[in-house]
Amino acid sequence: MRRGPASKGPGTPGGQTPGTPGTGTPGTPGIPAGQTPGTPGQGSGGLAATGAGDVLSAGVPLAGGLLLAGAVLYRRARSAA
């Protein structure tokens, strides 16, 4: 971007000057009841249930059936040739 000789910089946004920051102390963040800061909650310690076991239990019989069907088609093609 090329600037002309009259352009000296971005200036102030909206033609206004920013105000002064507030005075006082900031508040403390809320802490959940029963927990102290820096300690995690009490979990079960196990892994999350993703549902991948359902796919695996259906996939094994399906793969076996496809393998058996392929063997039958192979034997039929070999005997016909």
Amino acid letter, 1: M
Q: So what's the pLDDT on residue 70?
A: 97
55-68 per-position pLDDT tens digit: 778 888 999 999 99
Separation of alpha carbons 11 and 3, rounded Å:
14
35 vs 42: CA distance, rounded Å = 10
Q: Please give the single-letter amino acid code of residue 16.
A: Q
What one-letter code names the amino acid at 12? Answer: T
Place of tokens 């507030």: 22
Query: Domain map of the chain by residue range?
Result: 57-81
pTM above 0.85, yes or no: no
- Predicted confidence (pLDDT) per residue in 6-53, tens digit: 555 666 666 677 677 777 677 666 666 666 666 566 666 677 777 777
